[in-house]
Structures are given as C-alpha cells and as structure tokens.
C-alpha cells in the first residue's frame, strides 16, 4: 500500500523523486502524482492532525490506471530465469504478455522485449564508482564476526555482536558491541551512532534484518514501524540495500572488513568480563583507526569528517529518540486494551475495534487508522493494574467513579465503630485502594438484608477472630447467626424506645 504520508515527508526534505520512490517502494509516477495532488489541495508538511491515513488514501488514490505506457519487464527476474536450463526469451516473453493481459497493461512486442533485455544484460556487467556527497548517506550493518565476554562466575563465553555505522563520504565510523541483535539494541545502536557523529545523514542504508526491514522487493519496501518512526524523528530516509546486493552499501561492507582486522582481530587475545570493557577497548582502537592516514589521498577519516562532512549533517533533535514498541490490540467490552498485562482505557465507542498501541518507557498511546484516540502514563509493577479515564466510560458507568475511601468510611460510621474498622482493614489489605471498593460496597450492602445493627454486631465478632477480617467472614457470621449467640448478643440501641416488638410478635412462639 502506497504511503502518501511518507512521500510528502521525504519531498519536504528535498529528496529527488527517484530516491523517494526507492524508499517508499513505489514508482516515480506515483511520487509525481502525489506531489501534484498535494499542491492542488494546498497540503504541506507537516500535515494537519485531521488528515488521517484513510483521508490521504481517498484523496490521492488514482481513479483509473494510466493506459498510455508499456509495462516495463522485470529484467532482473528475466536475467535469473535465463540461467535456468530450458528457459528461453520466447518463453519468458509469453509469460510476460500473459501477466500484462491479466493486469490490463500493454506489453512490449517480442523484438523490443529482446532488445531491452540485451541492453540490461550489458549494463549489469559494468561497474561504476559512485561519488558520495558529504553528509548524504550512512550505512549500517552487523559485523559477521563476534567478540567474547567471559562470565566471571561460571567462565561461560558469551558472544558480543558488533554494530558498525559508516559515513559513506569520509569513512568515519561508529562501532559498538551488544549482547544481542534484538530490535531494542538495533535502535539503540542507531541513536548512539547519531550522538557520536553529532548529526544525521539524509539517507540511511541498512541491511534487510527483520528488526529494520520487514519486506524489500522490486515492488514494495515495508519498514519495521519502530525503525520508520526513528527515521522520521531524525529526519532521514531509509533506503534498504537490495537482497543479496552488498554493493548497495559498499562503505560499510568495506568498513566491516577493516573493523574485523583492526579491532576484532587485534583484540582477539584480550579477555573481557563485562560489555563495558569490550566497548571501552573498541573506542581506543577506533580512535587509532580514525587518525590513520589514507593511503591514496590526503588526510584521515577524522580530518575529512571534521572539515567536510560534519558541517553538512542534519542537526539532531532536542530529544533523543525513545524506543517504542508497536502492538495490535482489540478493544475489549470493558473498553480497555492490554498490550503489556496492564489495562488502559479507550473511548467506549471503539469497543471491538482493532487498534495500534505504541509503548514507550513512560507512555502508552492508542491509534486507530493513524489517529491517536487515547494516551496514558505507562504503568509498571505487578500486572493487572488499570488506567481508566472517566471521559472514556459510558454515561451509566461514570457514576461509580465518584466512590472513594472517605465515602465508604462515612457510610460505615453511620453503622458503628466496628464496621469502620472492618472497612479500613479491607482497604488496607489491597495493594491498590480501588481494588477493595467492591468488597466494601458488598459489606455495607449487607445492612439492607440483615440491618445495620446486626452488621455492626457481626463486624465486632469478626474482629475477635482476626484484626483483618474479610467480607466473606462477616457474611458467614451473619448467615449463620453467630452475631446473636445467647449471652453475647449486644443491646440494640433501639430498645430504649417504646413500642419495640420482640421476635415473638412475628410468630416465633412467644405471647403477643
């Protein structure tokens, strides 16, 4: 699916249509049409908040296909197929024509097809030196070799994976070791590299690791959502190297070889007990490498970087990128989502909708179709905690938000001191006060069934068994009548008034 938002963002940074098309996995024609539509509708980056992804699709999706152009064959695929036994250009042309008819596109005639393939095959044999511009491109990758960390308790050898980031123009390099190659370390490595360089490049060229690139084909490039978010934060465009095409990132491939020799191999006989020791030694070796003179041109990596490249880097934002996870959740019937075993409220109108949840260390944000519909401070600690905003609740649920400990205690005081003591014990027994509200409500509601007098008596008897009675214990005392055992029945304060009838009046065998 075409990312019109990303096209407009990259266009605002002055990238060429070819670079934008490569980054977004679409054709240059799509980029051109999107830019023209944006001008026609007076849309400029950053887009207004009400311009969601669905509205962009409705605005920019073409209503009909262009029919005046021939369908360009995928000659890379043709070249691979020609290497197989029995495959001819005639066979491939027939398959190409059948695909065009199926998609309603216009194919080249056989002669033109063969001529264009011959031109392609000649071009693929040629090599070319691409002159990089200062501050334009940073290439990143994991080194093939690892370093070793020794556990000082067990002696176990733990591999340390080496991340390499190289600026294509100066060759200035950042290197750091991590204990895993997960997404969090992948993002942290980029953030640390940008901090080390003091700026960001306009283009970022990674390999096709799943922590960064989900899909990379001739037709489509799909980035990991967190990786895309990081690129937007630093104002850079991600152009992944093609699969099995190391020449797309020659700087970092060459640098990895240099790092393997001058850092990893040079430190092969050292014994490290912590990751910090590994990275401290890497920094020392890296500083020597940056001061080492070039063999075929003047200066060194450090001098070229400081004089020619650093002034042209994109300035870093005021705040470093904060790692965020994205999860897909369904809003439950209690209008909450649970992406991390905690519960966060969403407006009740979105019940049973699938939403995108973004989790950082401090915040939880909920999005529907690119529009943020809820945000909460992230909760930490024991699972099962709730963060509920009253405005997210249905109208008939909001009345329960007015209950609090003071209101329960005030209700309990109308029944007696023992009831107050039990309510305090129930509230204190929970880690979160709100978790005891339901038990307090049930306890005080017992007065409707058994009378306030008997509830107070039951609470008094429960306190003789334990200093922290529960709702169940008080309910059991009332159900079994233990609150009015012979000789221990408390005096009903209503007995001092006249016209008080005893139980015999109501048919228990006494005189009327």
* CATH at residue 151: 3.30.420.10
Our count of domains for the chain comes to 5
Range in 68-72, 268-272, 426-430, 472-476 the model is least confident about = 68-72
Same domain, 395 and 428: no
Q: Are residues 55 and 113 in the same domain?
A: no
Percent of the chain at pLDDT > 70 equals: 85
Q: Is residue 446 part of a domain?
A: yes
- End-of-domain residue from the set 368, 399, 430: 399
Is the pLDDT higher at 298 or at 192? 192
252 and 362 belong to one structural domain: no
Of 59-68, 115-124, 336-345, least confident by mean pLDDT is 59-68
296 shares a domain with 356:
no
C-alpha count within 13 angstroms, C-beta hemisphere, residue 118: 6
Q: How far apart are CA 35 and CA 49, in angstroms?
A: 19
In the predicted structure, residue 398 carries a pLDDT above the cut 70: no
Residue scoring higher pLDDT (130 or 88): 88
Spatial distance between the Cα atoms of 240 and 243, rounded to a whole number of angstroms: 9
**Residue 202 lies inside a defined structural domain of this protein:** yes
Say if residue 250 is in the same domain as residue 333. Answer: no
The answer to whether 226 touches 324, Cβ cutoff 8 Å, is yes
Q: What is the mean pLDDT of the chain?
A: 82
Greatest mean pLDDT among 6-10, 349-353, 395-399, 504-508 lies in 349-353
Q: Between these two residues, 430 and 268, which has the higher pLDDT value?
A: 268
pLDDT at 346: 94
Q: Is the pLDDT of residue 67 over 50?
A: no
More confident residue, 125 or 76: 76
Output the pLDDT for position 15: 86
101 and 198, same domain (yes or no): no
* Res 499: pLDDT: 43
Residue 458 lies in a domain: yes
Average pLDDT rounded to a whole number, residues 32-44: 83
Q: How far is CA 509 from the centre of its chain?
A: 74
**Whether the predicted pLDDT of 494 surpasses 50:** no
Q: Which long-range contacts (CB under 8 A, 24 or more apart) does 213-218 make?
A: 213/238, 213/240, 216/240, 216/242, 216/243, 217/25, 218/74, 218/76, 218/77
d(CA 432, CA 155): 44
331 pLDDT higher than 80: yes
**CA distances, 248 to each of 142, 174, 392 (Å):** 15, 19, 50
Say whether pLDDT at 491 is over 50.
Answer: no
Q: How far apart are the first and last CA of the chain?
A: 87
Query: Could you tell me the residue range of the domain that residue 172 belongs to?
Result: 137-312
Structural domain contains residue 181: yes
Is residue 336 in a domain?
A: yes
- In-domain check, residue 502: no
495 or 118: which leads in pLDDT: 118
Q: Distance between CA 270 and CA 281 in Å, rounded? A: 9
Assess whether pLDDT exceeds 80 at residue 112.
yes
Name which of 28-32, 112-116, 212-216, 266-270 the model is least confident about.
Answer: 212-216
Q: What is the mean pLDDT of residues 84-110?
A: 86
Whether 61 shows a pLDDT value over 80: the answer reads no
By the 8 A CB rule, do 136 and 204 touch? Answer: no
Asked if 413 and 390 sit in the same domain, the reply is no
CA distance 54 to 339: 24
pLDDT confidence bin for 189, thresholds 50/70/90: very high
Is there a domain that residue 132 lies in?
no
Least confident of 401-405, 409-413, 476-480: 401-405
Global confidence as pTM: 0.53
Regarding whether 170 and 266 lie in a shared domain, the answer is: yes
Looking at the fold, whether 414 and 291 belong to one and the same domain comes out as no
Radius of gyration over alpha carbons of the chain, in Å? 35
Q: Name the least confident of 109-113, 214-218, 288-292.
A: 214-218
Same domain flag for 93 and 16: no
CA distance 429 to 291: 65
Residues β-bridged to residue 137: 203
- pLDDT of 64 > 50? The answer is no
Buried b (16+ CB within 10 A) or exposed e, 343-365: bbbbbbebeebebbbbbeeeebb
Shared domain for 144 and 236, answered yes or no, is yes
Structure tokens at 38: 């944006």
Q: β-strand 386-387 against 343-345: which pairing, if any?
A: parallel
Q: State how far the Cα of 236 lies from the Cα of 438, in Å rounded to an integer.
A: 52
The pLDDT, as a whole number, for residue 358 is 92
The residue among 359, 379, 399 that closes a domain is 399
Query: In this structure, is residue 511 part of a structural domain?
Result: no
Tell me the average pLDDT across 316-337.
Answer: 90
Q: Are residues 488 and 420 in the same domain?
A: yes
pLDDT at 153 > cutoff 70: yes
């Amino acid at each position: 699916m075409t990312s019109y938002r990303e096209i407009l963002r990259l266009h605002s940074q002055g990238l060429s249509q070819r670079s934008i098309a490569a980054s977004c996995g679409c054709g240059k024609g799509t980029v051109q049409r999107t830019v023209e539509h944006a001008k026609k509708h007076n849309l400029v980056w950053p887009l207004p908040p009400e311009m969601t992804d669905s509205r962009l699709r409705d605005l920019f999706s073409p209503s009909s296909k262009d029919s005046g152009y021939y369908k360009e064959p995928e000659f890379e695929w043709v070249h691979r197929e020609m290497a197989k036994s029995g495959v001819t250009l005639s066979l491939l042309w027939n398959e190409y024509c059948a695909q065009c008819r199926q998609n309603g596109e216009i194919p080249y005639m056989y002669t033109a097809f063969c001529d264009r393939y011959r031109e392609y095959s000649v071009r693929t044999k040629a090599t070319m030196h691409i002159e990089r511009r200062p501050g334009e491109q940073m290439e990143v990758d994991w080194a093939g070799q690892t370093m070793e960390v020794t556990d000082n308790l067990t002696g176990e050898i733990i591999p340390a994976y080496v991340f390499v980031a190289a600026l294509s123009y100066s060759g200035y390099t950042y290197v750091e070791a991590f204990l895993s190659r997960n997404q969090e370390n992948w993002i942290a490595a980029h953030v640390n590299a940008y901090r080390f360089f003091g700026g960001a490049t306009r283009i970022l060229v990674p390999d096709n690791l799943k922590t960064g690139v989900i899909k990379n084909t001739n037709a489509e490039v799909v980035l990991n959502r967190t990786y895309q978010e990081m690129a937007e934060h630093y104002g850079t465009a991600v152009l992944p190297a093609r699969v099995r095409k190391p020449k797309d990132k020659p700087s970092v491939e060459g640098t990895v070889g240099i790092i393997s020799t001058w850092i990893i191999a040079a430190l092969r006989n050292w014994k490290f007990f912590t990751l910090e020791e590994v990275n401290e030694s890497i920094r020392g070796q890296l500083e020597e490498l940056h001061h080492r003179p070039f063999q075929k041109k003047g200066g060194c990596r450090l001098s070229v970087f400081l004089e020619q490249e650093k002034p042209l880097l994109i300035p870093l934002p005021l705040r470093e990128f904060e790692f965020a996870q994205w999860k897909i959740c369904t809003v439950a019937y209690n209008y909450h989502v649970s992406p991390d075993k905690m519960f966060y409220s969403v407006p009740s109108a979105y019940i049973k909708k699938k939403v995108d949840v973004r989790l950082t260390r401090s915040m939880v944000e909920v999005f529907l179709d690119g529009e943020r519909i809820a945000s909460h401070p992230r909760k930490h600690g024991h699972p099962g905690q709730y963060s509920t905003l009253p405005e997210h609740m249905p109208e008939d649920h909001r009345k329960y938000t007015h209950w609090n400990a003071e209101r329960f205690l005030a209700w309990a005081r109308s029944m007696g001191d023992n009831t107050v003591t039990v309510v305090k014990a129930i509230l204190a027994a929970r880690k979160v006060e709100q978790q005891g509200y339901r038990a307090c409500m049930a306890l005080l509601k017992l007065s409707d069934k058994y009378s306030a007098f008997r509830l107070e008596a039951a609470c008094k008897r429960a306190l003789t068994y334990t200093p922290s009675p529960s709702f169940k214990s008080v309910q059991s005392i009332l159900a079994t009548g233990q609150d009015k055992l012979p000789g221990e029945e408390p005096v009903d304060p209503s007995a001092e008034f006249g016209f008080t009838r005893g139980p015999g009046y109501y048919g228990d065998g006494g005189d009327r």
